[in-house]
Structure 1
Amino acid sequence: MDQNKVKKLVDDALAENEALFLIDLNFGGDGSIKVIVDGDAGVPLSECIRISRAVEHNLDRESEDFSLEVTTPNITDPIIDKRQYNKNIDRTLKVKTEEERFEGKLIDVSDEGITLFWKSREPKPIGKGKITVEKQQTIPLSEIKEAKVKIIF
């Protein structure tokens, strides 16, 4: 299987809709091809079908047997691409860095990092009891080891 040809076909199909972007392209030893795409506002099923057809119709099944799967990221998959952060603004994220773990509402995304907001209960500075404190943390993208959207029912 010519992986460069498949990559070009996927890139050409994605170029037809600028809201879509490639997350992963895997080639299995058994001739399987898995394409994971995401979009700034999600990915409709019709776009997965269009991309699949654009790739499949330009490959020769007579010369090579292959299976093709075009899918979107699973809700439990970590965020990989910076554009995925933009589509998750106002959602709660769990973020791991080398030293710390954060959980908060994603309120801002920049070229340098993301900003999370959350509330926590902390002891009063004077006296007994606790108070609610609002916290905000900007985390550089380079320090993020894993970020996932927290599923809330």
Structure 2
Amino acid sequence: MIAVKEIEDLISQAIEETSIFLISCEIKPGNVITVLIDNENDASIVDCMKVSRGIEHNLDRESDDFSLSVSSPGLTEPFLVKKQYVKNIGRRVTIKPKEGDKIEGLLEEVTDEGVRLTDKVKERIEGRKSKHWVDKEYLFSFEDIKETKVVISFKKN
């Protein structure tokens, strides 16, 4: 049986001195290995091939047969690691907190503790009849976030 730690070590060697980072590594029964990677820029097929070769060339199919899949997460997949938040600073995201409603906003900052979003919302200002656009800031600690996804938009800014 192939160990996750062994695969993670091989991935670390393959991505050393690159901007590629590991999101997840899973081994299912029958040695079905699934690896999710990303890149600080944009993950490419070349990145996936580099990681795949780094694993395949260092495992012995004679002793342990395996199936290997290396890919990047799709646009609709939730964030799993902090580096995904950092990569997406400046993009609109939706955060679903563990308690409360979803919040959509611009991902402005990522710290060790959490993230900061901003958004413009229409609110009634005291003493005025009509609503006005105001800047709203939202702070989330990582432990309070259930799910974060990039907002897919086809609008030109």
TM-score, reference length from structure 1: 0.90
> Which structure 1 segments of 5+ residues have no match?
none
| Residue 136 of structure 2: aligned partner | 135
Q: Secondary structure at the match of 2:147?
A: strand
Q: Counterpart of 2:105?
A: 104
Match of 2:88 in 1: 88
Aligned residue runs from structure 1 range 34-49, under 5 A:
34-49=34-49
**Following TM superposition, where does structure 1 have runs of at least 4 consecutive aligned residues deviating by more than 6 angstroms?**
none
- Is 1:5 matched with 2:6? yes
Shift of 1:137: 1.6
Contact 2:2/2:64 (<8 A) preserved: no
Tell me which amino acid in the other structure corresponds to 2:141. Answer: P
Q: Structure 1 residues 124, 5: closer, same or farther in 2, change over 3 A?
A: closer
> Among the aligned pairs, what percent are the same residue?
39
In structure 2, distance between residues paired with 1:137 and 1:13: 38
The range that moved more, 49-58 or 94-103, is: 94-103
2:53 corresponds to 1:53: yes
Aligned-partner Cα distance in 2 for 1:142–1:6:
27
User: Which whole-Å CA distance do the structure 2 matches of 1:55 and 1:97 have between them?
Assistant: 36
Q: Aligned partners of 1:99 and 1:2: how far apart in 2?
A: 38
In structure 2, the residue matched to 1:27 is 27
> How many equivalent pairs are there?
152
Q: How far 1:55 moved relative to its partner?
A: 0.8
Which residue of structure 1 lines up, in the alignment, with residue 72 of structure 2? Answer: 72
Cα deviation, 1:99-140, whole Å, max 9, x if unaligned, reads 233110011111222110101112242243211111112212
Give distance in 1, aligned partners of 2:107 and 2:55.
35
Q: Distance in 1 between matches of 2:130 and 2:48?
A: 54
User: TM-score when scaled to structure 2?
Assistant: 0.88
User: Equivalents in 2 of 1:125, 1:16: separation in Å?
Assistant: 55
Distance 1:68-1:16 versus aligned 2 partners, 3 A rule: farther
Deviations 1:70-120 (A, max 9, x none): 111111111111111111011111112222331100111112221101011
